[in-house]
Amino acid sequence: MRCEIVAVGTELLLGQIVDTNSAWIGEQLALAGIDCHRHTAVGDNRDRMLAAMGEALERSDAVIVTGGLGPTQDDITRDVIAELLGVGLVRDESLVARIEAVFGGRGRPMPANNLRQADVPVGARTIDQMPGTAPGLVCPVGAVSSADGDDSPKVMYAVPGVPWEMHQMVEGTILPDLKRRAGISSVIRSRTLRTWGRSESGLAEDLADEIDRIDRDGGATIAFLASGMEGLKVRLTAKAATDAEVDALLADGEARVRAVAGPIVFGVDDQTMESVVLDLLVDQGLRLATAESLTGGMIGTRLTEVPGSSRAFVGSIVAYDGGVKRSLLGVPDGPVVSEEAVVAMALGACEQLGAEVSVAVTGVAGPDPQEGQEPGTVWMATCVDGEVEAVRTRWPFDRTRIRQFTVITVLDALRQRLLARQVG
């Protein structure tokens, strides 16, 4: 089963939007055991869309088109697919009712333009998942679709460009249909271990023996995915006949990676550094406060993006000005980018906000030096049970990344202290 992805949208070619849809679909196809041979981006132009989709259909057994299913004049994906397949469009009145219901639920009348979204190529069927107003399409090529699934030699799928709508359609309909067509009955699943504090090359070197063992004896395969300020991801992928066998392979692979990588593994799959820290705080019955200068509230923002963060996070003091640091947090006279200052900030946050735990950061984000210290100079501190640990680092980055790396690094320092406290 050969598959291709065609992403539609002039904004993709202009660089106004990054094509994350094709990347995500490609990853899901790989996990399902479907070979994806090519990604193509094409603008909202009939002739170029016909050429791109036609060439993809000639080369491959399945083509997934994302984008161009909206209600505006440049949303012509359904029209181009119908023309490519040599069929007309028919208005589906049940879709009209569903789209009207979506607008009715929002308390708004449906614009006439949205009727176009109910036009379906003859012989195609709509995808059951429809979280928005744009229906997805399954278009058999060479046979007529049936309720039980067609046996056409080729197929085209069309999904909206809105990621959360597209995800539901791909997972709920397209992947199962492709696996049925390809005769894939085995189970393929991945687990991602999230790490912080080791380079890709360094961790790959650490795991070299384990990778060699997998090549020799089998097991969950290992791949490295660098994700910048979110750390390095280690993806384990296993294939077996049953769910239980896959789960066992993944559990064994995870245990082996953790045995080598140790505490740099901070989470699994969708866990984030902040969600892990908050879970540890809740488990230990601790409350967290933050004192931020350099990061200007970014730590608090990331913490409060986690649902239920109020179970452990009590608040933040953003003290950017030196005078505010001294009056609110008890920072002594002298340099505000120093060990003495960050220790005082950590203790002051606990005292002012009534928390048992705190993190504090101060530094020089740049681009200009401050207090004789170069941009990238950062002091970070964690306070747990009244004991403060402070560390200085020098990031060789731009202003934005200095701040981003500081956030996750100080949270990781707190995570490791909480783990040690838990064991102790």
Q: What is the pLDDT of residue 139?
A: 96
Contact 23, 82 (CB under 8 A): no
Residue of 137, 4, 16 lying closest to 78 (CA atoms)? 137
Burial of 336 (0-12, 13-18, 19+ CB in 10 A): buried
Residue type, 115: L
- Does residue 132 share a domain with residue 50? yes
Count of Cβ atoms closer than 10 Å to residue 31 Cβ: 15
Q: What is the pLDDT of residue 229?
A: 76
- Does residue 205 share a domain with residue 75? no
Measured over the CA atoms of residue 189, residue 19, residue 132 and residue 119, the dihedral's sign is negative
Structure tokens at 140: 């058999």
Residue of 277, 323, 317, 275 lying closest to 297 (CA atoms)? 317
Q: Residue 36: in which H helix or E strand, if any?
A: strand 35-42
Q: What is the pLDDT of residue 257?
A: 94
Q: What is the pLDDT of residue 143?
A: 64
Cα distance between residue 94 and residue 349, in whole Å: 58
- Does residue 217 share a domain with residue 277? no
Contact 137, 81 (CB under 8 A): yes
- Does residue 365 share a domain with residue 410? yes
Digits of tens for pLDDT over the chain (424 positions)?
A: 899 999 999 999 999 999 999 999 999 998 888 999 999 999 999 999 999 999 999 999 999 999 999 998 899 999 999 999 999 999 999 999 988 888 887 788 888 888 899 999 999 999 999 998 899 999 999 865 455 556 789 999 999 999 999 999 999 999 999 999 998 888 888 999 999 998 888 999 999 999 999 888 888 999 998 877 788 999 999 989 899 999 999 999 999 999 999 999 999 999 999 999 999 999 999 999 999 999 999 999 999 999 999 999 999 999 999 999 999 999 999 999 999 999 999 999 999 999 999 999 999 998 888 888 999 999 999 999 999 999 999 999 999 999 999 999 999 999 999 999 988 6
Count of Cβ atoms closer than 10 Å to residue 272 Cβ: 19
Cα distance between residue 318 and residue 345, in whole Å: 10
Q: What is the pLDDT of residue 149?
A: 56
Domain count for the chain? 3
In angstroms, the first-to-last Cα distance of the chain is 54
SS3 66: strand
CA angle 420, 423, 424 (to 5 degrees): 80
- Does residue 176 share a domain with residue 35? yes
Q: What is the pLDDT of residue 144?
A: 54
Q: What is the pLDDT of residue 284?
A: 97
- Does residue 378 share a domain with residue 401? yes
Which residue, of 225, 251, 268, is where some domain finishes? 268
Angle between helices 175-182 and 20-32 (to 10 degrees): 40
CA angle 384, 386, 392 (to 5 degrees): 65
Residue of 195, 252, 181, 248 lying closest to 224 (CA atoms)? 195
CATH of the domain at 51: 3.40.980.10
Q: What is the pLDDT of residue 275?
A: 97
Residue 233 β-bridge partners? 194, 225
- Does residue 254 share a domain with residue 281? no
Q: What is the pLDDT of residue 200?
A: 87
DSSP summary character for residue 137: E
Q: What is the pLDDT of residue 20?
A: 94
Q: What is the pLDDT of residue 341?
A: 97
Cα distance between residue 163 and residue 189, in whole Å: 21
CATH of the domain at 203: 3.30.70.2860
Contact 95, 118 (CB under 8 A): yes
To 10 degrees, the CA torsion angle through 60, 64, 65, 69? 140
Around 165, how many Cα atoms within 13 Å sit in the side-chain half-sphere?
A: 18
Which residue, of 268, 284, 316, is where some domain finishes? 268
- Does residue 212 share a domain with residue 157? no
- Does residue 15 share a domain with residue 56? yes
- Does residue 148 share a domain with residue 8? yes
Helices and strands, number each (H, E), in the chain: 15, 17
CATH of the domain at 375: 3.90.950.20
pTM: 0.77
Which residue, of 160, 182, 204, is where some domain finishes? 182
Distances (CA, A) of 87 to 76, 77, 274: 15, 14, 52
- What residues make up the domain containing 74? 2-182
- Does residue 26 share a domain with residue 126? yes
Q: Count the residues in the chain.
A: 424
Q: What is the pLDDT of residue 28?
A: 92
- Does residue 126 share a domain with residue 42? yes
